[in-house]
Structure 1
Amino acid sequence: MTRAAVQLDHASFHYATGREGLHETTLALPAGQVVVLCGASGCGKTTLTRLINGLAPQYFPGALTGTVTVGGTDTRNADIAALAKQVGSVFQNPNTQFFTMNVRDELAFACENFAMPPDEIRARVESTARRFHLEGLLDRPLADMSGGQLQRVACAAVSTTNPGILVLDEPTSNLDATAIAALRAIVATWKSEGRTIVIAEHRLAWLDGLVDTAILLDGGRIARVFSREEWQRLTDAERRSFGLRPLTLQQLRDDCERKEHTPLHAPVHATEHATPAAVDTGRIIAHVDTGRMPAAVDTASTSTPIDAGHTSVCGEPLAPETTLVRGATPAYHVRGFRYRYPHARRDSLDIAALDLPCGAVTTIVGLNSAGKSTFARCLQGLDRRCKGTLITPDGVRLQARQRLDVCTTVLQDVNRELFTESVLAEVMLSQPHENEQAALNVLDSLGLRECADRHPLSLSGGQKQRVAIAAAIASERPVIIVDEPTSGLDLHHMHEVSQLIRGLARRGRTIVAVTHDPEFAFEVSDYVAHIVNGRLADWYPLASPGSAGKLFDALVPHIA
């Protein structure tokens, strides 16, 4: 009989805040298996991982009843340091587990804590860096890395001490297709070495063929346990009834291909700028004017109409596919965007021209570190070192400071933009004029009304994401930039966010969505901009022939 790496016997856990995380759970996870924990956001997946690695109740206060045994050790009688020798953890937000300033030091950190000899530490760091393709990044500051790179560093850092059990919480939430394929290879290697891998995950297709046991949780309880064979036999209809995303790459492709897509906006003449409209998404009422200008801009001195015959920017010809037909659709026009990080030898971003149609969703895709998030920061004007300008539908040129009044961003790491003591206050902070009822309506439309009085940082990752989106809606700015808006979201809330974004675009907002999520991209995209090494490699309407295949290949890992 296969020994159990992890055992729970009638285990229940209530957080000190009063929230129940897990209820009366009895479970045995065999050693050497890949176990996937799935279910809706808040179902108990993260709580279960915290019980395995000892963070609950030792770091997250609460009441634990029953027993949790890891590698034969009762977690109630072991501190976190002792459990860390047996269990390696990768959190949903890797920034919360870093202790050093650069990659090399982070890989060495756990080994140093276990007092390994210096020569052994160096050997383990170099070996791990090769396995995770981090050789060229060992001296890179963590602060300069993308979300996907940080996730890869986190996975590598827990591998240096060779723990027998590895716990991963939403490990692919910020990874591109190439990185996901690399992570799959690492998981396969860990499995071949006899390690036990527990993965809490919403995106499931990348694990096709690796899963030995799947555990579906609902409301803090185990709803069903699937064997490898039962998991592989699940039909599309069955997995949808469980609220799960596609389990295989073929299901994922089928889901994407069946999504019918119609552009959100109707073409209008260039002189017929979109008029102010009421955006009614659920119970959201917000004034939107696609041509609205910041009050600080002197249109008399800065307004420069777009020359219909203009064919170059910064001396470079405009690619035909990057510029909309003049007179067809009002748009915001990116012109001559260039950005170079300090001490870099070349521009990290160099986009001569890109049009962002009003009342539509333009999806920005590309690998990690391609320049997508850099483009988003420059578009909003968050970094004044960015060269170039944004031209409004009315022909007004906006420099970085002025763009702050037109654009708002939902960041990839939403913890960086949550400042207040309650969810309601967070939304009201973004409003141009405080209106509590309007803020409550926004929260209600996103399923957050019951969280109005909770502290934003007490919420789950998916809930925090929705709070940030609610704040962006409440800001009433005409251009909304969303950076990985479905990171950490389950199937239901991914659909909910997609419908909300499409509704906002349909009623006049200009949406720029940076994403690695293929299901989300197929649901919301009107246009796709593919960035490679900081350059615009491709731009196309999703409805055009052959575009669906290009988008799928850009976002879905190629797994042998």
Structure 2
Amino acid sequence: MNATESQAGSVTLEDVSFSYTTNGSGASPYGPAPARRAAPGTTAVLRQIDLEIAPGTLTLLCGASGSGKSSILRLINGLIPHFHSGSLHGRVEVGRVDMPRAALADSGRVTSTVFQNPRTQFFTSDVRGELAFRGENYGVDPEEIERRIRRAAGQLGISHLLGRRLSQLSGGELQRVACAQALVAGTPVILLDEPTSNLSPQAVQDMTGILARLKADGHTIVVAEHRLHFLRGLADQVVLIREGRIARRWTGEEFFALGDAERRDLGLRTLETPPACDAVPLRAHAGDDAQTPPASARGLVLEDVRFSYGRRRVLDIDRLCFPAGCVSALVGVNGAGKSTLARILCGLADPERGGRIALDGRRAGTRARLASSSLVMQDVHRQLFSASVRSEVVLGLDPGRAREVDVDALLAGFDLAAESERHPLSLSGGQKQRLAIAAAIAKGARLHILDEPTSGVDHRRLEEIAAALRSLARGGAIVIVITHDAELIEACADRIVKLRRLDPGGAASPQAEVIRPPAATATRRIADAAGRRKDA
């Protein structure tokens, strides 16, 4: 990258304040009509932001979910005010481009973005077409587009996905495609919003290498993240955002030298590389009585469960048990079939003929599993339908169950009380995640499945979610957490179940295995606990 291109990578935010416009309609086909139509107004999200980012550096934005990190990225890439309307004051420049006044097409020549939810940035149906889309729109030579695609796919380890449809990919695979899209663009500034949220530990390590190469090539990188450890040695400056303001600044060296106590006081995730998910030490959790047995020794049992997408088999499980009364962490690499297994368990899909699923000792068909389960999806945007946060919590519940739910207590427990009248889709990614969990708890299901529930949350919210899951398990529910988050596993898991990706040449043996604690130990512990309850 030459000197002129390097200068194009400078970013300046000077005395910037921004408030989103709210139309006040409260309209939703799924929720009750609002008692009155709210007047249009604004929601202030950023206040007096002053930020200088030098070309060729990496800046980390950290802070609680909903603090304004994503809004800063939207300022830099021009989505504010061109796509997200509102009241903007101050100066925003990328290189020589005045972003609020430039056309979005011109903004796209200087910045590229990896969104927190990659599905929202895709325009085509297949991986290769998606990676070529941007260059084709800017009239880049087809041979150059293909060269960039091959290079980016190789760097991100997704060459084997180039012929696949986006609808067939896991959340982690979609995240890597979105990152490859930014690499193919070759813009001087690259913005990443929670780029590791759905990635396995190995993929997170790969992300570190990718960012290091981009930085070495002279790109300016801005990352908004809750996972922080992978940026040690890469971040040049770290900015803590709190309630729309810059609260603290550090150099990268100063930040990663923070003590653990100070880091926790700031509400931040670990600064040290956590262990692999299948090696997390399980322990008794604070607030739990180790002598209190699970409310039930029963659970969910799978036998001969197999599932394929066309000719590609993704699940081949001989036998697997998820006991009631404990939290089972389901881990494995991206594409191992974890989300597919979740869909089968909660009744959104059926295994191939011959597969058997039993709930509490009785065979459970599709309808029974649907009625008995709740699912917090990896892409939480797809399950929020109501007109307000409050109505979302009890949406779909029968009147008797809805009356039993203490909505105020649930919202307060997830720090959403102040957002109770907002539209769910206006929340930040982390707030949406917590709302979906609150709604799942309100359902009072027998089986709770959560797919990456901490993908967009800070340390304090992670602890709240872990406490909620432990409470569900203590009440006798079957709790399954699909996660790549070692901090969450340490905070709440009783068991770790590892799902291996099937070898195209033959099935893994076994594909699913209880590795921590060993299956026999887990079964004996639960049986002993049930015996103690019976004797009591």
TM-score of the superposed pair, with normalisation by structure 1: 0.82
Q: 1:462 Cα shift?
A: 0.7
Q: 1:541 Cα shift?
A: 4.1
Match of 1:44 in 2: 68
Instruction: Give the counterpart of 1:81 among 105, 110, 118.
Output: 105
Q: Deviations over 1:484-523 (max 9, x none)?
A: 1111011111110010111111111110110011000111
Alignment of 1:237-256 (within 5 A): 237-249=261-273
Alignment of 1:382-397 (within 5 A): 382-387=348-353, 388-393=355-360, 395-397=361-363
- Confirm or deny: 8 A CA contact 1:377 1:383 kept in the other structure: yes
Q: Is residue 2:261 matched to residue 1:230?
A: no
Match of 2:471 in 1: 503
Question: What SS class does the counterpart of residue 99 from structure 1 fall into?
Answer: coil
CA pair 331-544 structure 1, distance change in 2 beyond 3 A: closer
Match of 2:82 in 1: 58
In 2, Cα distance between equivalents of 1:363 and 1:250: 16
Instruction: Give the counterpart of 1:15 among 20, 23, 29.
Output: 20
Match of 1:536 in 2: 511
Match of 1:138 in 2: 162
Match of 2:416 in 1: 448
CA pair 250-465 structure 1, distance change in 2 beyond 3 A: closer
- Confirm or deny: 8 A CA contact 1:264 1:360 kept in the other structure: no
Q: Is residue 2:176 matched to residue 1:201?
A: no
CA pair 545-168 structure 1, distance change in 2 beyond 3 A: farther
In 1, Cα distance between equivalents of 2:20 and 2:292: 53
Match of 1:512 in 2: 480
Q: Partner amino acid for 1:109?
A: F
Q: Is residue 2:395 matched to residue 1:420?
A: no
Q: Partner amino acid for 2:389?
A: V
Match of 2:530 in 1: none
Match of 2:328 in 1: 362
CA pair 386-511 structure 1, distance change in 2 beyond 3 A: farther
Q: Deviations over 1:240-276 (max 9, x none)?
A: 22111112327999x97696549878687xxxx95xx
Question: What SS class does the counterpart of residue 249 from structure 1 fall into?
Answer: coil
Match of 1:554 in 2: none
Match of 1:401 in 2: 367
In 1, Cα distance between equivalents of 2:156 and 2:274: 27
- Alignment RMSD, CA only? 2.6
- Confirm or deny: 8 A CA contact 1:430 1:474 kept in the other structure: no
Question: What SS class does the counterpart of residue 382 from structure 2 fall into?
Answer: helix
Match of 1:114 in 2: 138
Moved more, 459-468 or 4-13: 4-13
Q: Deviations over 1:332-370 (max 9, x none)?
A: 2222211111232xx311111111111111110000011
Residue ranges of structure 1 left out of the alignment (5+ in a row): 275-289, 291-328, 548-560
In 2, Cα distance between equivalents of 1:476 and 1:259: 27
- Confirm or deny: 8 A CA contact 1:205 1:246 kept in the other structure: yes
Q: 1:177 Cα shift?
A: 1.2
Q: Partner amino acid for 1:8?
A: L
Q: 1:181 Cα shift?
A: 1.4
Alignment of 1:415-494 (within 5 A): 415-433=381-399, 434-435=402-403, 438-494=406-462
- Confirm or deny: 8 A CA contact 1:265 1:360 kept in the other structure: no
Moved more, 114-123 or 429-438: 429-438
Question: What SS class does the counterpart of residue 523 from structure 1 fall into?
Answer: helix
In 2, Cα distance between equivalents of 1:390 and 1:267: 28
Q: Partner amino acid for 1:475?
A: K
Match of 1:317 in 2: none
Q: Partner amino acid for 1:539?
A: V
- Confirm or deny: 8 A CA contact 1:423 1:456 kept in the other structure: yes
Q: Is residue 2:333 matched to residue 1:338?
A: no
Question: What SS class does the counterpart of residue 469 from structure 1 fall into?
Answer: helix
Q: 1:228 Cα shift?
A: 2.5
Q: Partner amino acid for 2:320?
A: L
CA pair 546-357 structure 1, distance change in 2 beyond 3 A: closer
Match of 1:315 in 2: none
- Confirm or deny: 8 A CA contact 2:233 2:253 kept in the other structure: no
Q: 1:540 Cα shift?
A: 3.6
Q: 1:392 Cα shift?
A: 2.6
